[in-house]
Structure 1
Amino acid sequence: MRLLWVLAILLAHTAKAEPAGIEIDSAVQQTFDRYELPGIAVGIIRDGEIAYTRTLGELQAGSGEKIDNDTLFKIASNSKAMTAGVLARLVDAGKLKWDDPVTKYLPQFRMHDPWVTQQMQVRDLLIHNSGLGLGAGDLMLWPEPNRFTRDDIIAGLQHLKPTHSFRATYAYDNLLYVVAGEVAAAAGGAPYEELVKRELFQPLGLSRCQVGEWNRAEVGNVAQPHMRTPLGNRVIREDDEVVPNVTSMAAGGIRCSLDDMLTWMRMWLSPDATPAWLSPAQRKAVWTAHMPMPVSARMRAWDNSHFSAYGYGWRLSDVDGAWKVAHTGTLAGMYSSVILLPDQRTGIVILINGEGEAARTVLGQVLTKQFTAPQSTPTVAYYAELLDRERAGERAAKPKADTRHRTIASPRALAAWTGHYRDPWFGDVSLCPQGDRVRFVAARSPMLAGTMMRVDERWLVDWDDDSVDAEPWLHFAAAKASGDAGLTLSHVDPDADFSYDYADLDFHRTQACR
């Protein structure tokens, strides 16, 4: 009887520990259907083993090519943890220190303030404490493709004015991860993409992950990004035959499959499985709370969270009393999420090749609750409705301007302001007549091209490519010093993605149109 009693307890414990497969299947399917996704891949690691995988949808909507565990997705900002991992490996190898000055490896590195330039350490590149505003300079990275190089990023930083004191405030940035990748290259003696292969992909067996330049046909099975239209999901920014080594690689350019991401999570959750890959000291450093982050109202209401902070490439928080290490990734038409619950040795990964911000949030929440609050029964519909109400409130508080009555601005109406303009970090744009209209064209960001429109007494750019989904207002002024024209930009939609950092631009006219 005693043996039967012990067995019963063990079986009950096992049943509670394992994820409810049918419930998770239902949640994934409901998310896929509710948000009309072109494709999704979901996986769960539990106690070092793959506990669940599910894939739905297509590489390209309507193609018939099904997504599977080997399909490559853009993991976007989940690349940051991989960049941090490369640096941690170099620290273990004695090739750099976290508190080394950045200028030790990149003498040309400059921030706007010379003192900050001198004080900026390698660790500061990873924790969003630079004093730059949210997404400062991101127009040098996105939309892709563009003509900015990593050298351009390093040169442009000195022209970006801080919005806060150094190390005083958290504000998410991407440019400094590009710098971190170049620091790794200088310290490691190889280009960033080669270091990632050498230090991560090869020793960890991430056989499908891609970094740097690669051939789409040779690699195969590559999900394409989509945007949702009234006619359904449509591919945007489709990969060419050769996928380039984009400037943003260290901040958000790596691609991986579901199986690769499961392997990546297993390494972090079960360090004994790969003890030689990273020392305990560096594992601790990566997951240490280096920069406090605000605890949002949603985190308090949904997760009963009490702290939030940034480590090296990871966000740290608590959910229902459980420690959470996580990150998200967002690019046009591609969304990812990695959620680790280290004390429970549980990891969740979500990869989406469509407009999936809400889907990622809702499904990530439902799956996390399976492990942090198994006694509760949250559903996709429940969290979707909470999110809808939250966003409706935000839209009411910050309404988007009504621009439906826009008209094409004539060259005559804009005659006082046409010309060629220059911003010290973004470079040149032209604002010149073409026939019966005026065109805005950025020299180094070809997707930022569009037609000038008039809305009452205001001006905006209607971008040619509708995947560039953040229109700017244009504000002209006579420059006080030279008497010539100045130009600044701002968002038409106050909820536009922060990477369209129009507020950081300060153009001055350099010459007339020819």
Structure 2
Amino acid sequence: MGHEILKKEKEFEAYCNELVEKYQIPGYAIGLAKNGKLFYEGGFGFRDKENQLPLSSDTVFGIGSVTKSFTCVAILQLQEAGKLSVHDLVIKYLPEFKTNNDEFTKQMTIHHFMTHSAGFPPLPNLYGAMSKTLAKDPKFEDGNEEQKTPEIPYIASYEELMECIGKGEYTLLGAPGTEFSYSNDCYALLGAVVERVSGISYEKYMKDFILEPAGMKHSVFHLHDLDGHKDISNLYNTRKKDDETIVFESNNQWDAPSMRAAGFLKSTVNDMLKYTEIFRNGGKVGNAQILTPESVEAMTTPYIQCGYDEFYGYGVMITPDFYGYKLIEHGGSIKGVAAQMNIIPELGLTGFSIANLAGVPSKKLLNCAFADYLEKPLKSSHVNVTEKNLSVDQLKEYVGQFVSGEGGKVDFSINDDGKLCAKMEGMVDSVVRPIAEDWFLFEMREEEYAIRFRRDEEGKIIRCAFGFRQLAKTELGG
């Protein structure tokens, strides 16, 4: 594999164009590098559709939750400096932090927050943190709003966020370290730890210790900090009108000062390929040693299972067997953002992929590019599973409604063909295929998702893990 090329470049680009059209993606950009050198870049569609402005590898997009890995880099830098340990208790730095379970609160460590294993179910606080900017989203003549979100008072600061968590009505999933469920709240509070330990704001810390040393000139939390750089993508969103999906421009950037550490950085393909060097190159970007090799090792250790073949490290996910290689990756989704970062350190291969519309298959396309590089069929899947045969009686156990504190819900039912189906808002029913005990796979928007059902001590199904979050079964759900 000495000369770096995509083997089936034309076929890959045809597939990109096909999905860009199918999902009405205004703009999609991708870049691949080998040993830190860009060898493929692609731009499909536009950063500004109305004015037909093209994309480049320097177009600024939001990156959503890919921000979480930056937050972990900061924590590990502070650990290297001897200012904290990831095994310290959270209350050492945030003494006012409380949950509704004192015993568990006293056991929660920074490590638990970094691995989403503190035990929090999905909470609605992100919407409270964003509510000021959400209120500026457009309303439509047909009375529909752009976004249906839980009504929550504005959460302006880390202190207010801690107050909300302290007063919230929820049940922790289990003792810290035992249950994985994705938590924006925990990552927001890691930002608070960074501030208190370093003595400077989270945003300034990012700039001084990560973004500037890595030469990420176009990576910012606020567009007004871009110093005249005009290559910025518009944001797009979708809404349903009758049965049609309408994609529209919606340049109102969401922001949440108390949640920036969870998902509000903006960056470019070129800058993100510099950033991925940290994971490929033992913590080094150019001449800057951002992390020690030991810290990189700590970040990319699979601590807790988060999907069928995926594990969570610190702010990154690890697929131990991606066609025989260890893949380090993370996605990001927020308004106008579908981002994906991939690294196979062993091959020196890194990639970043981004669209200016949420909920579209950026990850699928980047994985296809990686599969092609590895000389695998373009649209193949690295997940090797055999479908199990379950009778209708066995499937009945899984029927019911499962809800998330973030507003999501999934209904499982059995269709006329005796198959288990999942129904979500705005989605067609999908057949879910049993692949292992209490594990199912289903396809949505070109990508495979695993669902895992969770049981109580008596063996009764009480939750399902889907989209990296644990949803609780409702009483209505039988």
* Matches for 1:27-46 after TM superposition, within 5 Å: 27-46=15-34
Structure 1: stretches of 5+ with no match in the other structure: 1-12, 296-306, 381-390, 403-493, 505-514
Partner of 2:445: none
**Is the 8 Å Cα contact of residues 27 and 379 (structure 1) preserved in structure 2?**
no
Partner of 2:116: 128
Deviation at 1:502, TM superposition (A): 11
* Matches for 1:372-391 after TM superposition, within 5 Å: 372=374, 374-378=375-379
User: 2:252 aligned with 1:238, yes or no?
Assistant: yes
Partner of 1:420: none
**Is the 8 Å Cα contact of residues 334 and 358 (structure 2) preserved in structure 1?**
no
* Matches for 1:11-410 after TM superposition, within 5 Å: 13-14=1-2, 18-20=5-7, 21-135=9-123, 137-142=125-130, 145=133, 147-149=154-156, 150-160=158-168, 161-166=170-175, 167-211=177-221, 214=224, 218-228=228-238, 230=244, 233-239=247-253, 246-271=257-282, 273-274=286-287, 276-295=289-308, 307-317=309-319, 318-357=321-360, 359-372=361-374, 374-378=375-379, 397-399=421-423
Change (3 A) 1:322 1:168: same
Residue identity matched to 1:342: P
Distance 1:251 1:377 in 2: 32
Distance 2:81 2:104 in 1: 28
Structure 2: stretches of 5+ with no match in the other structure: 135-153, 382-409, 416-420, 427-463
Deviation at 1:253, TM superposition (A): 0.4
Distance 1:197 1:234 in 2: 32
TM-score normalized by structure 2?
0.70
Change (3 A) 1:356 1:14: same
Bigger CA radius of gyration: 1
- Give CA-to-partner distance per residue, 1:56-103, whole Å, 9 cap, x none: 222232123222222111100000001111111111111111111212
Distance 2:425 2:296 in 1: 47
Partner of 1:301: none
TM-score normalized by structure 1?
0.66
Q: Which of the pair is proportionally richer in helix?
A: 1
Deviation at 1:115, TM superposition (A): 1.8
Residue identity matched to 1:286: M
Change (3 A) 1:400 1:181: closer
Change (3 A) 1:23 1:401: closer
**Is the 8 Å Cα contact of residues 34 and 350 (structure 2) preserved in structure 1?**
yes
Change (3 A) 1:67 1:376: closer
Residue identity matched to 1:69: S
Deviation at 1:287, TM superposition (A): 0.8
- Give CA-to-partner distance per residue, 1:327-381, whole Å, 9 cap, x none: 0101123110011111111112111001443x22431331221234x1434379x
Distance 1:184 1:228 in 2: 35
Distance 1:395 1:128 in 2: 32
Number of equivalent positions: 374
**Is the 8 Å Cα contact of residues 307 and 468 (structure 2) preserved in structure 1?**
no
Deviation at 1:142, TM superposition (A): 4.5
Deviation at 1:392, TM superposition (A): 13
Deviation at 1:400, TM superposition (A): 6.0
Change (3 A) 1:363 1:55: same
Percent identity of paired positions between Structure 1 and Structure 2: 18
Change (3 A) 1:110 1:158: same
**Is the 8 Å Cα contact of residues 45 and 265 (structure 1) preserved in structure 2?**
no
Which secondary structure does the structure 1 equivalent of 2:342 belong to? strand
Change (3 A) 1:309 1:135: farther
Residue identity matched to 1:224: N
